[in-house]
Amino acid sequence: MRVLITGSGGMLGSAVYPAFVRAGHEVVATDLVPRPEPGMPMGLLDVREHGAVRDCARETKPGIILHLAAETDLERCETDRDHAYLTNAIGTQNVALVASELGVPLVYISTAGVFDGTKGDEPYTEFDRPNPINAYGGSKYEGELIVRHTVPRHFIVRAGWMVGGRERDHKFVAKVINQLRDGARVIHAVTDKLGTPTYTEDFAQNLLALIDTPFYGLYHMTCEGAGSRLDVARAIVEFYGRSDVEVIPVSSDFFAETYFAPRPRSEMMRNFALQLRGLNLMRPWPEALRAYLDQAGFELERSSARGA
């Protein structure tokens, strides 16, 4: 099958693109800022331009479109809501309209950020009602609604805290790694925000299995289990054997100046629909995190880190 991917140059695209190629699909990869890699040519596509999306799709004639392109910076979304909704809602509408015009299925990647985090200690399922509390979650949820009402054959797939990407990783795991690499002996991590890490490689493999079915609809696709940022930071420090590094629990107020966008207390999700369909292939997050750290390297060898 010929697959058109938007946002291929991002963190998730770095796993989805090669996974689909290895599976035998003919992949047309695009991004707003193409980052060509050996064997992975990538074309320019701004999903905010309807004409550009239409022309690209008409030329490539995909059998399915994977819409990964998004603005995921919560602080930028909060300070520039026009940009957030132009990219995440209108951009998604452009892709959805083209998919509908061509009569092809659309995969839309959404987020746990569509929830308000007030459910308590239970993870969210696909049957819980979204209620975003920030511009990022709001714009992504509008994208969900647009896809649902525009494209008959669609997969809306919500991811959690993203883990992966190697050099494209600018999220929490990379920030902890960078602190270790820079010689930090103290790492602060919050305890009052709960979520479910999502390893990009596992996500890509599970996505491949899902789109090979006729079971269109809404899915959560995260690793198994849940935890706090503190739990993730401690797991990383333990992986590298860094007994010389202290991980200190703090509240979100500690980082309030830098990360000022409101965030849900809980973004824990359960892959309920995947489990009911017998399609849940996601590993427990500690196992997936170890696999990622072991594979990625991050220029921080475990042996040299011990006792440093």
Per-residue pLDDT at 166: 81
Give the model's confidence band at 39: pLDDT under 50 very low, under 70 low, under 90 confident, else very high: low
Residue 248: HSE in the Cβ half-sphere, 13 Å Cα cutoff:
8
Residue 113: HSE in the Cβ half-sphere, 13 Å Cα cutoff:
25
Domain ranges of the chain: 2-163+196-220, 170-194+226-267+284-305
Q: What is the β-pairing status of strands 197-199 and 161-163?
A: parallel
Q: Which of 47-51, 54-58, 181-185, 216-220 comes out lowest in average pLDDT?
A: 181-185
pTM across the whole model: 0.94
CATH 3.90.25.10 for domain 170-194+226-267+284-305 = yes
Torsion of CA 22, 28, 32, 35, to 10 degrees: 50
Give the model's confidence band at 167: pLDDT under 50 very low, under 70 low, under 90 confident, else very high: confident
Per-residue pLDDT at 308: 40
Which of 166, 165, 163, 162 lies closest to 299 in space, CA to CA?
166
Q: What is the β-pairing status of strands 227-228 and 194-195?
A: antiparallel
Per-residue pLDDT at 41: 74
| pLDDT at residue 299 greater than cutoff 80 | no
Q: Which of 118-132, 159-173, 283-297 comes out lowest in average pLDDT?
A: 159-173
Per-residue pLDDT at 33: 80
| pLDDT at residue 305 greater than cutoff 70 | no
Give the model's confidence band at 304: pLDDT under 50 very low, under 70 low, under 90 confident, else very high: very low
Per-residue pLDDT at 139: 98
Mean pLDDT of the chain: 93
Domain 2-163+196-220 homologous superfamily, CATH = NAD(P)-binding Rossmann-like Domain (3.40.50.720)
Give the model's confidence band at 295: pLDDT under 50 very low, under 70 low, under 90 confident, else very high: confident
| pLDDT at residue 301 greater than cutoff 90 | no
Amino acid at 127: F
Per-residue pLDDT at 29: 94
Give me the mean pLDDT over the 101-130 stretch: 97
Share of residues in the chain with pLDDT > 90 (%) = 87
